[in-house]
Amino acid sequence: MTDAGADMHALVERLYPLCRSITGDGVRATLDIIGEYLPLTRHEVPTGTPVLDWTVPEEWNISGAYIATADGRRVVDLADSSLHVVSYSVPIAETMSLDELRPHLHTLPEHPSWIPYRTSYYAREWGFCLPHDTLTSLAEGEYEVRIDSTLEEGHLSYAEHVVEGAVADEVIVSCHVCHPSLANDNLAGIAVAVQLARALAETGTHYTYRFLFIPGTIGSITWLARNRQRLDVVKHGLVLACAGDRGALTYKRSRRGNAEIDRVVEYVLREGDRPHTLVDFSPYGYDERQFCSPGFDLGVGSLTRTPYAGYPEYHTSADNPGFVTPAAMADTLGACLEAFGVLDRNRRYVNLSPFGEPQLGRRGLYESLGGRSDAKQAQLAMLWVLNLSDGEHTLLDIAERSGLPFETLVVAADALRAAGLLKE
């Protein structure tokens, strides 16, 4: 995973400077870069399109913004950080006093060198974000204020990548592409999703995996509205965010609380001895709250490291590429691969010789264990699989009840099926 971690971190660094929002050219530029790693199906949904209870908003783009002193010195400049302008700010070109300007300035007094991240998606406002140290250094006087932005009819952009599996039933993996220069809360999730998709394509899968690169909230609402008639194929799902900080992994259960994805991720985190936290669903957070809204109630959980708003750097300029690590992203990727490895092979079987214990020796099943260091455990796994394969229990059920490793049970089931004792 070392090389994968370095590759993911390099992608974070490459995406970091782009000025993104829920719509606009920054999202398209982000999808352009992701498209160099994965083949994408891209979608452009026009402004004004009804999507569930929402409407696709106007498209926002920005080419520059600054605050300058009377002598032309720029004290705040969008060119220095995409966080400097409140996202979706309306255009402005005025000269005003510091007192007039001050209500439009956002800082973090408790972290005076950091720039906060602020948005104004659905209100016609404007503003700048800057370090508190910069604000306190501003002298009284006149300032030139300029935001070269546009809010006009356009599109909401998102993209999908599909890893075709043996069956049409789908697992969706969602990450958001709308935040500007925030490395953990946005870009690390994208990087892990890209690497995860590539790894799954190499191994081959049972399920079809659909990766969604969408703006937060309005993106998932738009995707759900446009895919409403085919949601019956979505069997499981995972939202990736905050995937690269040094904190332990956190899994947030789906609204159902006991969906198969919930049990699988909990099993993998527990059995892998990874430090982790499990939390119940709440209707606040990332796009899991849209997928788990009561009308859809999909089995979609959320995997993060430190959860949103759980670290001081959240939604600030301190969430930069130095805040995320290759090792942390590799650990997140590893947990996803292990979870999907279990999910992809978690089957129900029926014992074809259920009356008494079938004779394993004459079918060569005992002999096949000869020389294995875990022969006794493998034999026990066969007995457990036979006993609980009644069409009701999955291999995960058997693993949890028997205490045997899931991998051992998969091998046992494969051997029993080859011997004609099980069917799926």
Chain mean position to CA 350: 36
179 is in an annotated binding site: yes
Render the burial of 264-296: b for 16+ CB within 10 Å, e for the rest: bbbbbbeeeeeebbeeebeeebbbbbbbbbeee
Element (H, E) at 160: strand 155-163
- How many helices (H) and strands (E) in the chain? 12, 19
Residue 283 · residue 289 · CB < 8 Å: yes
Q: Which of 147, 87, 93 is nearest to 117 (CA)?
A: 87
Report DSSP state, residue 316.
Answer: B
Structure tokens, 412 = 């046992």
315 is in an annotated binding site: yes
Query: What's the angle, vertex CA 420, arms to CA 419 and CA 424, rounded to 5?
Result: 115
Quick one: 3 exposed, middle or buried, by C-beta within 10 A (0-12, 13-18, 19+)? exposed
**Radius of gyration from C-alpha coordinates of the chain:** 26
- What Cα–Cα distance (Å) separates residue 30 from each residue in 17, 23, 26, 77, 185? 10, 11, 6, 22, 15
Q: Which of 280, 323, 324 is nearest to 302 (CA)?
A: 280
Chain mean position to CA 138: 40
Torsion angles phi and psi, residue 128, rounded to 5? -125, 150
232 is in an annotated binding site: no
Binding residues for Zn(2+): 179, 185, 315
Binding residues: 179, 185, 315
